[in-house]
């Protein structure tokens, strides 16, 4: 049973943009900090962004200036905007509350090369 469900991943051209969504199913997206991670094939899961309840955001150096995390509390949904995508951003993207140890299915982003 997933607490958050990711969607919005797609196949895109280099330099393109996507908006990923993370819908709360069994949990609130505003109760504590929400994170985005990603995992490329054959690589470890990598933290890329955090959104705190008060609105502060933090980003990994690899995505800083290109990605933006936000939330809509009425829709109980967190978003991740991805811009200027290079092929290196190809990965499965996951959302989860800070400190959680379980993961959902994620959503696949593929940047063509």
Q: Is the pLDDT of residue 1 over 80?
A: no
Q: What single-letter DSSP state applies at residue 16?
A: -
Angle at 45 between CA 43 and CA 51, to 5 degrees: 150
Cβ-contact 63, 46 below 8 angstroms: no
CA distance 18 to 35: 17
The Cβ of residue 81 has, within 10 Å, a number of other Cβ atoms equal to 14
pLDDT above 90: percentage of residues in the chain? 91
CA distance 39 to 32: 23
pLDDT above 70: percentage of residues in the chain? 99
């Amino acid at each position: 049973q997933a607490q958050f469900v990711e969607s919005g991943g797609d196949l895109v051209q280099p330099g393109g943009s996507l908006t990923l969504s993370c819908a709360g199913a069994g949990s609130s997206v505003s109760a504590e900090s929400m994170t985005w991670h990603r995992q490329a094939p054959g690589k470890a899961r990598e933290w890329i962004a955090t959104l705190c309840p008060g609105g502060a955001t933090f980003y990994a150096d690899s995505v800083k200036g290109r990605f933006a995390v936000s939330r809509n509390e009425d829709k109980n949904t967190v978003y991740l905007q991805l811009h200027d995508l290079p092929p290196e951003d190809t990965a499965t993207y996951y959302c989860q509350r800070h400190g959680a140890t379980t993961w959902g299915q994620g959503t696949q982003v593929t940047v063509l090369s």
